Amino acid sequence: MGAFKRLKGSKRGERPPGKIDASLNEKLQTVKWGGYKLGDLFDIDKWTYGKNKNYETKSASPFPNAIPVISGITENNGVNYYTEDKLSDEEIYSASLTISTRGEYSGTVFYQPEKFVLAANILAMPMPDLSRNQKIFIGSLINALPYGGYNGYPRKETLRKDTIQLPEKNGKIDFEFMDSFIDELEASRVLVLKEYLSAAGLDDCTLTAEERKALEEFDSLKWDSYNLKDLFGKATRGKRLKSADRIDGSLPFVTAGEAFEGVSAYIGNEVEVFEANTTTIDMFGSAKYRNYKYGADDHVAIVHTESLPKYASVFVTAAIHKASHSGKFDYSRNFYAKDADALNILLPSKKRKPDYEAMNTFVSAIQKLAVQNVVRFVSQKTKSNQIQPNQNL
């Protein structure tokens, strides 16, 4: 990237748009900022939209030679599924930013570190002259642009005119600041993660003999169908609380949606409080396990699994989601508590009863396997020369 002119009317010292991590706020306060048009920074003509192609070979999990397909979802870094279809070089991108250009979550930006292909309505934004950290830094600023809903969808022609605030030094873009900022931010998050694992007792994730046995014998389990109402009693429907009537507080308030696990606000209103270790099902049939007390609106059904062991309740939630999130429910046909009462789910059984002990042990083992990867990641990062946790953050 060469030298770029500051936009007229842009003042030094301006803060960039969007929320930046509070732990590095002091560093952000000392840097100078300048406004730059994306069209002046990048060759946007070389940014490419995904084609409306149906990749045949699909898998929810990565496998050898698989390439992730990026779509408009807001979780899993935008990876919807994996494919091993024969792909042309023109279809494959790597080390680039992607942005969703249609749908409810339009404007969502992710950095893709490895090779990937695009689903329809996704725009790849290659920035070959930038480092990984610089792409992540700039991606966060593009992500903060006001797209979505009534603000319209991001397209090449609109992004070309968009302005972002970048750090400056001696009147030029301070790329070194971007690199160091992302390094420190990542280091601080790794440190927090390491402390959390230790406090939660998850840093020791060695499988017990029972957990190893549960993994080995999972395929031989017997399964039966059970009615939710018969197992846990009638589901409860939440009560409507309009956004304008919500008082700021500390109680999570669950509504329909995937973002933030459906928690749309933290309220101080007097509402019915549902117990931890229960399951919510939203209007679209999406089930989620709750390990905390919460309130819920009228588009949420609560299944009372609180008497189960924790991991058995997680297992049951997965079984509910598989049965309820079938595409049958949408804006025109909502899922309600009465639908939960009529729902049948498949569970491991023993002597014609749900085998909650087997479920509990199996999920405990799965959690440890997942945490093992996290522990390995933390260990590698804290030993890496690239990331040295700053104890003052």
- The two domains 37-167 and 222-354 share their CATH topology (first three levels equal): yes
Closest CA to 81 of 114, 119, 50, 111: 119
Is the per-residue pLDDT at 215 higher than 60? Answer: yes
Which CATH number is correct for 37-167, 3.90.1170.50, 3.90.1150.10, 3.90.220.20, 1.20.210.10? 3.90.220.20
- The two tokens of residue 256 are 């329909």
Is the per-residue pLDDT at 112 higher than 80? Answer: yes
The set of residues, in sequence order, having a beta carbon less than 8 Å from that of 22 and lying 6+ positions away, is: none
The confidence score (pLDDT) of residue 362 equals: 96
Rounded Cα distance, 345 and 347, in Å: 6
Mean pLDDT of the chain: 87
Rounded Cα distance, 85 and 176, in Å: 39
Rounded Cα distance, 388 and 156, in Å: 38
Is the per-residue pLDDT at 163 higher than 60? Answer: yes
The confidence score (pLDDT) of residue 11 equals: 39
Query: Domain 222-354 adopts which CATH fold?
Result: Adenine-n6-DNA-methyltransferase TaqI; Chain A, domain 2 (3.90.220)
**Where exactly are the structural domains of the chain?**
37-167, 222-354
For residue 371, the one-letter residue type is V
Rounded Cα distance, 191 and 189, in Å: 5
- What average pLDDT does range 249-261 have in this prediction? 92
Give per-residue pLDDT as tens, 23-62: 677 888 888 999 999 999 999 999 999 987 778 777 777 7
For residue 43, the one-letter residue type is D
Q: Are 229 and 220 in contact (CB under 8 A)?
A: no
Give per-residue pLDDT as tens, 269-327: 999 999 999 999 999 999 999 999 999 999 999 999 999 999 999 999 999 999 999 88
The confidence score (pLDDT) of residue 373 equals: 80
The confidence score (pLDDT) of residue 22 equals: 60
Strand ranges (E), the chain: 32-37, 48-49, 67-70, 79-83, 96-100, 109-112, 117-118, 122-125, 163-169, 172-173, 223-227, 236-237, 248-254, 263-267, 278-282, 287-290, 295-296, 300-303, 344-350, 353-354
- Higher confidence at residue 391 or residue 203? 203
Q: Are 119 and 69 in contact (CB under 8 A)?
A: yes
Q: Is 390 helix (H, G, I), strand (E, B) or coil?
A: coil
